[in-house]
Structure 1
Amino acid sequence: MSRRIDYHDDPGAPTPNSMVPSVNAVVTNDVGDILMIHRTDNDNWALPGGAIDLGESVPQAAVRETAEETGITCEIVGMVGIYTDPRHVILYTSNGEARQEFSIVLTARAVGGSPTTSSESREVRWVPREDVLSLPMDRAMRMRIEHYLKGTDLPHIG
């Protein structure tokens, strides 16, 4: 299985060799809990998401990735921000891809399904807003969730 290693402001990080637009979704249920996945590739908690495929829109990619990774069907309702920090490099050990960050984070509401794991998620669960930041996660993911929770000056562009 491929591992994912995130580098932040690290002079020892590999030189990026790709940039792949990706999307994450902050999916909430009727009581405001946030849908989170425990990733299989880096053992961190994260919002569902992944690469945007050719032929699909950003919202379509968010809905597809959420369903694939969590079993939850959602509809997009807004946007948290766009994240393109060139000092954040993501290394995929299986193929040596070193990606410069390019992530669009949307908001969504759950409309169906039930939490189900996948090859990318060892655990899927609804987490109360007040507990979500207590989960172990990469600092880039934490920042995105913090922006969502604060809700001010959105969308974030950076």
Structure 2
Amino acid sequence: MTPLVHAAGCVLWRRVAAGDTGSGDIEVAVIHRPKHDDWSLPKGKLDPGEDHRHAAVREVLEETGMTCALGPELPKACYRAGDRPKEVRYWAAEATGGAFRPNGEVDELCWLSPPEARALLSYAVDRDLIDAALAAISPGGR
């Protein structure tokens, strides 16, 4: 039996001031991976001995250049990556600082409104995670 690949990632979000109302809108980070030519959420495999939470924060930093504060855990994604089963644990994570620079894995990062992010993402599981994150971090589930 092929061993399960363990990975972790985040729906990385930030609040953006909205005019004079004092309330804010949420933007979500979506990344482009040239190797796969897809638009995805930041995620990656666990290093040996690494726990999922640490891996999620590390992968966000490596792929987006952003530090983050983990929030609520979101539903897991289970799928096949090539010929191997893969399980990815996700968290909603608020961006706390940093700046994006293209790197070997990610050549573009876009901060988008949730509807724009859903439209750009390549995979249905990622679109569902946007909805789960919004429900977890905002009462109205924007």
What TM-score do you get using the length of structure 1 for normalisation?
0.72
- The answer on 1:89 being equivalent to 2:80 is yes
Cα 1:111–1:136 shift into 2, 3 Å: closer
1:100-150 Cα distance to aligned partner (Å, 9 max, x none): 12111111111110122221112112111121111040233233334334x
Higher strand share: 2
**2:120 paired residue number:** 135
Unmatched tracts of structure 2, length 5 or more: 17-25, 137-142
Q: Which has more helix, going by share of residues? A: 2
Identity over the aligned pairs, expressed in percent? Answer: 29
Q: Is the 8 A contact 2:65 2:101 kept in 1?
A: yes
Contact 1:39 1:121 in 2 (8 A): yes
Within 2, Cα distance between the matches of 1:117 and 1:17? Answer: 33
RMSD: 1.8
Residue 35 (structure 1) aligned with residue 29 (structure 2): yes
Are the counterparts in 1 of residues 8 and 56 from structure 2 also a CA contact under 8 Å? yes
Partner SS state of residue 15, structure 2: coil
> What is the TM-score of this pair, normalised by structure 2?
0.80
- Within 5 Å, give how 1:44-63 maps onto structure 2: 44-63=38-57
Report the equivalent of 1:74: 68
Q: Can you give the 5+ residue segments of structure 1 that lack an aligned partner in the other structure?
A: 1-15, 92-97, 153-158
Match among 83, 94, 108 for residue 123 of structure 1? 108
Deviation sequence 1:18-63 (CA, Å, 0-9, x none): 3111111011112211111011221111110101112322111111
Letter aligned with residue 118 of structure 1? N
2: CA distance, partners of 1:113 / 1:136: 23
| 2:12–2:29 contact (8 Å) kept in structure 1 | yes
